Amino acid sequence: MKRNWSRLTPALFLALALTAGCNKAQSAPPNIQPTVEQTSATGAPQQHANLPPIATTSLPPAPVPASFDVAALADQVRPMVVNITTTQKVAMRGGPDGGMDPFEFFFGQQRGPGQQGQGQGQPPPRERSMKRQALGTGVIIDPSGYVVTNEHVIHDADEVRVHLADDRELRADVVGRDPKLDIALLKIRNASGLPAAPLGISETLRVGESVLAVGNPFGLGHTVTLGIVSAKARTIGAGPYDDFIQTDASINPGNSGGPLFNWRGEVVGINTAIRAGANGIGFAIPVDEIKDVLPQLREKGHVERGRLGLGFQPVTADIADAMGLDGTHGALVSQIEPGGAAARAGIKSGDLIVAVNGTPITHAEELPRRVARNQPGSIIDLTIVRDKQRQEVKATLDTIPDDPTPVAAHPGMGGNAPEKLQSTGKLGVQVSDAPGGGAQVEDIDNDGVRDLAPGDVIVEINGAPVKDAAALRLGAGKLKAGATALLKVRRGKATVYAAVPVPGK
């Protein structure tokens, strides 16, 4: 089945820490590729304390002129961009002379009596190491030599070198990294007086606005391409904080970490991914998100984000109908972590979060981004809708752990043969008693059921508890023709809401 790659986030954004998903851009779906260039060519990162502030700008937005001097803009910004080469030592398995065993090359590994994988009669292979290089791009954001790039460009690198526009090649150290946002901060050694790019405001970008990309595609350093902002707030499944700028400025492998400039020469994004097999579809991290994490990267070497401690999901049209909502905006709370920030604030499963600190939540995937912009210990204001009434609550955020503990699975989930199938009548699903309580979906007869799947365990119907299949059948019998039932469902380790329309008369 062909997926809609432009919005690959799942129906449930579980992750109680609001940080579920890939930590690195390499974990993006197969058709979304980080734009780092790997080559086959044959010092540990240092942390820096008491670093000076990084220069940024916050100029008010200005209207884009009908035309501007692209060549002059390119001359202005190219010296601010660096080509990055990283070197990583990797272990290789070869023959006794360090090369590939020719027998194994043609016939594969053969196992004889008492041998562990080498060819029959062949001497054991010898471990050797070689250096693997990768190419990327970065942008200087401070005259003292601070450079922003993608984390996946320098991930696991043993050595980082930057090539300046004036042909100097210098060593650089990794100051900080944020795999979740795919951003890294470097410091060029023994550098001063470098041309630095001002950081603009990505929020004010308009679709159709001209942008300039500068990068190192396929090792062709300081390549300049012109395009427009094709779209904003793209979610491509690359990580928990997807909010990409889409552009048709040409971006290729090696462009990773390179800047996207507006017509005034300000950085408005960092190019990070391309749509495999498509021309003119590239993605950049908005600079506003990068500015949020730069102080922590500079001072701590990592980023700490606030944790709300809940699971949530988008509001579909069917769910909005079942809940009597006037639209599909907001994030529907499906699960609460006991003792977490959300639980302490009095938030409950079934609440609809419609704003964070006064900023509306139009799409559910905006919630983790809004929360993550606040550090642990911060108090945030949440606007929720409960029983069709708006409420204001305050939540004191916890710290996101490095490896969040998953929600424990409910006993008896999955793999159990149903003892007795029961029809739910108006719902159009076949269920059985679920071990641990609830009604487990075994089969679906209603073509209108889109949010349920076999194996789901229904634990509530329109707010009423469902302890077994008989209780669900009783609740379904009260439904009116043409109504929509709101079901609370256990699905694996998660809890979600599903809406099931009841066929009309």
Q: Mind giving me the DSSP string for 65-81?
A: PS---HHHHHHHHGGGE
User: Is 155 assigned a catalytic role?
Assistant: no
Q: Between the CA of residue 456 and those of 8, 51, 332, 429, 495, what are the distances in Å?
A: 22, 52, 19, 11, 10
Catalytic residue among 202, 256, 334, 432: 256
Long-range Cβ contact pairs of 423-428 (< 8 A, separation 24 or more): 423/473, 424/469, 424/472, 424/473, 424/476, 425/473, 425/476, 425/477, 426/476, 426/477, 426/479, 426/481, 426/502, 426/503, 427/472, 427/476, 427/479, 427/485, 427/500, 427/502, 428/500, 428/503
Q: Please tell me the distance from the alpha carbon of residue 325 to that of residue 252, in angstroms, as a whole number.
A: 44
Catalytic residue among 182, 288, 433, 451: 182
Q: Please tell me the distance from the alpha carbon of residue 356 to that of residue 182, in angstroms, as a whole number.
A: 24
Catalytic residue among 101, 142, 152, 155: 152
Q: Please tell me the distance from the alpha carbon of residue 261 to that of residue 249, in angstroms, as a whole number.
A: 11
Number of helices followed by number of strands (H, E) in the chain:
8, 29
User: Is 97 assigned a catalytic role?
Assistant: no
Residues 6+ apart with CB under 8 A from 2: none
User: Is 182 assigned a catalytic role?
Assistant: yes
Q: Between the CA of residue 464 and those of 336, 451, 471, 472, 478, what are the distances in Å?
A: 18, 19, 9, 9, 12
Q: Please tell me the distance from the alpha carbon of residue 59 to that of residue 64, in angstroms, as a whole number.
A: 14
List, by residue number, the catalytic residues: 152, 182, 256
